[in-house]
Amino acid sequence: MSFKIPLFDLNFDEKEEAAVLEVLRSKWISTGPKCSQFESKFAAMLGANHALSLANCTIALHLAMVICGIEAEDEVICPSLTFVATVNAIRYVGAIPVFADVRSLEDLTIDPVDIESKITAKTKAIVVMHYGGFACDMDAILGIAQKYNLKVIEDACHAPLSEYHGKKLGTIGDVGCFSFFSNKNISTGEGGMLVTNNNELFERAKLLRSHGMTSMSYERAKGHSTEYDVVALGYNYRMDDIRAAIGIVQLDKLKADLEKRAIVREHYISNLSNCKNLIIPFQDYREFSSNYIFPIILKNGTKEKRDILRHQLANAGIQTSVHYPAVHRFNIYQQFNYSLQKTDYVTNCLITLPMYSSLPIDKVEFISNEIFGSL
């Protein structure tokens, strides 16, 4: 189906084209100077000590598990209201996901109270996901982690430049993971970044990113090293310079893009806040957010009512989505047998509306009017 108003739109122009062409003409297209530049620029943007470019965010999450020492049969507390990659990374190292509920229908981030209630002697880490670019309660979560000596891994795939008490999300826990998938705030098609302030964790991740080798091709090509050793069982998790070049351009556009998204969000809230049949999560959130998505939740809803509304919006030419089907309900994770009352309600009754910086205000009003007319 072709939609008059898509769910998202790429913020691409001739600058990305020129960046790719520059790399192609340089004839160095694998991991090289552009990846290094992208990493430095990203770390500086967040005020972080280290950033490591990777092929995607799932890889970042997997490496985070490995460098934080998560092993088979360890327990890792995580949200269920997230993309499945957040949880898959836990299973990649043989650990056990322990699902925690969201705080409320107004705040879709992981609940610190539920986190603490599920800690056992096997718990080794907490994974948080900053839903939609809105911060989890990191003070409470870090307090729990300190109390029980746990690692904290931030899935910040929604949250470049988002803040919590003046700190950039992804820099608060032990490791932060970012996504550059095609529909993210920063898009390189595929791609990810691991961020940490810990020198030891960074060096370990850098080694494992490229087969456990002590030097990479670009370093040897520049004469910095003629030989290498393999000192760990690593992976081929590298980003290439083509995607990194796109990422550099995207970083230059990011702040202006997010400021425009904030205006779109304000208009959505102005138009929809009086609808008594809707909840707008994070409606009163005041810290800077990337506004990756704009979710709404039906009051007194059901999955059937939600799907009818999505169908009506589609007939009006408006593309919507659901962020996300709850991970604990997927067949592969039902073995862990969790009941999460608030998460279950959200995943049944949530609709994600179009959100991108170039979304015209009259289209926001059109979407809002269609919702009012359908409820």
Q: Note whether 40 and 80 are same-domain residues.
A: yes
Per-residue HEC secondary structure of 100-127 comes to: ECECCCCCCCECHHHHHHCCCCCEEEEE
In a domain, 9, yes or no: no
- Residue 145: pLDDT above 80? yes
The two tokens of residue 201 are: 């964790």
- Residue 224: pLDDT above 80? no
Containing structural domain, residue 351: 254-374
Q: Note whether 266 and 120 are same-domain residues.
A: no
Q: Which of 216, 236, 251 is the last residue of a domain?
A: 251
In a domain, 283, yes or no: yes
Q: If pLDDT is split at 50, 70 and 90, which confidence band does 221 have?
A: low
Q: Note whether 171 and 156 are same-domain residues.
A: yes
User: What is the bridge-based pairing of β-strands 50-54 and 192-196?
Assistant: antiparallel
Q: Which of 234, 251, 268 is the last residue of a domain?
A: 251
CA 280, 283, 288: angle at the middle one, nearest 5?
A: 135
Q: Note whether 294 and 187 are same-domain residues.
A: no
CB-based burial, 297-308: b 16+ in 10 Å, e otherwise: bbeebeeeebee
pLDDT digit string (tens) for 289-344?
Answer: 999 999 999 999 999 999 999 999 999 999 999 999 999 999 999 999 788 999 99
CATH code of residue 179: 3.40.640.10
The residues with which 345 forms a beta bridge, in sequence order, are none
Phi, psi for residue 51 in degrees, rounded to 5: -140, 140
Q: Note whether 71 and 145 are same-domain residues.
A: yes
Share of the chain above pLDDT 70, in %: 97
Q: Note whether 327 and 246 are same-domain residues.
A: no
The reported pLDDT for the residue numbered 227 is 82
pTM above 0.75, yes or no: yes
The two tokens of residue 317 are: 């030419």
Q: Note whether 26 and 151 are same-domain residues.
A: yes
Q: Which of 231, 251, 271 is the last residue of a domain?
A: 251
pLDDT digit string (tens) for 59-113?
Answer: 999 999 999 999 999 999 999 999 999 999 999 999 999 999 999 999 999 999 9
The number of domains in the chain is 2
Q: Which of 7, 3, 5 is nearest to 323 (CA)?
A: 7
